[in-house]
Amino acid sequence: MQIFYAPDLTPTDTRYTLSDEESHHCIKVLRMGIGQQMHLIDGRGTLYSARIASAHPSRCQIDIEDTQTNYGKRNTHIHIAIAPTKNIERLEWCIEKCTEIGVDAFTPLLCERSERRQLKPERLQKIIVSAVKQSVKAYMPELNPLTPFEQFVAHPNTANGLFIAHCNQNNLPHLHAQAANHSRIVVLIGPEGDFSPHEVSLAEQHGYQSISLGQSRLRTETAGIVACHLANLFA
Amino acid sequence: MQIFYAPDLTPTDTRYTLSDEESHHCIKVLRMGIGQQMHLIDGRGTLYSARIASAHPSRCQIDIEDTQTNYGKRNTHIHIAIAPTKNIERLEWCIEKCTEIGVDAFTPLLCERSERRQLKPERLQKIIVSAVKQSVKAYMPELNPLTPFEQFVAHPNTANGLFIAHCNQNNLPHLHAQAANHSRIVVLIGPEGDFSPHEVSLAEQHGYQSISLGQSRLRTETAGIVACHLANLFA
């Protein structure tokens, strides 16, 4: 079943007009017609079953037939704060995979050793929307702006599990063992050259626990996916 | 420290000549010179510490100074048999990420619903070599040829944990719970349209257990990474 994104749809609506872009995709690309069924998500937890009422290529109207609120709601809030990779495709891929696996918030981090210091958030947002539709998530992960590391760790955080993944130390506890008893998890993932010792120490001063993601030396984007997956095992 | 691949190096060698390609990379691309240190891996479990003896751009000679056998050896053998994705880049990503996380063998599977029915193994092999070097693995994962599904599941297998991941059924046990007591694991991952009911039934007849990879609907390549990561949690 095709899925469309309808950010301003609410569970009490009975009729809705798809955006210009979604109408075009529905009518021109997928060649859907009157009476055909579809699903919609609002990004705030509701999945809608609907049917095309008018097959207009830029203002496609649909009738809502059923709604499921809290669709796929998880018990854990997972926030991945990650230094963007030099090659932006690697970050994009990480964001797509985390969205599929299950994530609630992303914050791109500006670190001491970050090689990439600029981002195009519109493109990342598009990747999130596409992954949300593809994997039928009713909740849209939040994408925060690029934030300096010091600012991020110093900011008051409602999470009860604060973790920083790094390789500056051997024998760190594995996130798998540490994440279990936490319902709101933040994991910090560093850039290609890892977090600096100063950054690790700063995070620890703000209550972050240093953890390992396993024996393997992982690239930044792989570390992001692995951390997200580990947090999800307890979600 | 730079890592080079030396498939015909053995732990008793004291001097070695890098391949034409690795010599070029070392001397021309990285501009390394006499006396500079490097690591080498032979793909069969040994990590070598070495130093450049002669900086020839196509026949770079090195002196071996130290060897570590069974470097990073895991207790679990992990074999991912996966239907190649329509977009080959997605399979390439999966192979790169599994290699980083830890995997021993890959078999591309030809399934009933496979949209891609051909592969270029040389390119996949290059991706494995590059990921092995990047993540400092002394063991090279084995890449098997594209194999028809029926043939793969019918072939006698020394693994004690045989699993097939699919979405044809609800409430399947999670691989996380099932993988724990097995030292040799095979996980089958289907194509974009999933395995057919006939394929699932055939695999089950050959001793494969149907498992889930979690609540999320995952793309083929994401399922491969998630399965590999889960198997590694017990490795």
Give residue limits of the domains in chain B.
3-68, 77-232
Nearest CA among B178, B217, B41, B117 for reference residue A71: B217
Q: Are strands A105-110 and A142-143 parallel, antiparallel or unpaired?
A: parallel
Q: In what order do the strands lie in the sheet with B37-41?
A: B3-5, B37-41, B47-54, B61-68, B15-17
CA angle, A223 then A226 then A230, to 5°: 135
Task: Say which CATH topology domain B3-68 has.
Answer: Ribosomal Protein L25; Chain P (2.40.240)
pTM here?
A: 0.94
Contact B222 A102 (CB under 8 A): no
Range A12-37 average pLDDT? 96
Q: What confidence tens digit (pLDDT) does each residue in A101-152 have?
A: 999 999 999 999 999 999 999 999 999 999 999 999 999 999 999 999 999 9
What's B39-97 look like in SS3? EEECCECCEEEEEEEECCCCCCEEEEEEEECCCCCCCCEEEEEECCCCCHHHHHHHHHH
Range A20-38 average pLDDT? 96
Contact B233 A176 (CB under 8 A): yes
Q: Which of A75, A97, A130, A192 to mutate to test the interface with B (most CBs of B within 10 A)?
A: A97
Per the CATH hierarchy, to which homologous superfamily does domain A77-232 belong?
Answer: SPOUT methyltransferase, trefoil knot domain (3.40.1280.10)
Which pLDDT score, from 0 to 100, does residue B1 have? 85
> Could you say which residues from 65 to 94 on chain A have a Cβ atom under 8 Å away from some Cβ of chain B?
72, 74, 93
Which pLDDT score, from 0 to 100, does residue B235 have? 65
Q: Are strands A37-41 and A47-54 parallel, antiparallel or unpaired?
A: antiparallel
- In DSSP terms, B40 is beta-bridged to B4, B48
Q: Do the interacting molecules here have an ipTM over 0.90? A: yes
Q: Which of A100, A216, A219 sits opposite B102 (nearest CB)?
A: A216
Low-confidence ranges of chain B (pLDDT < 70): 235
**Position A235 pLDDT exceeds 90:** no
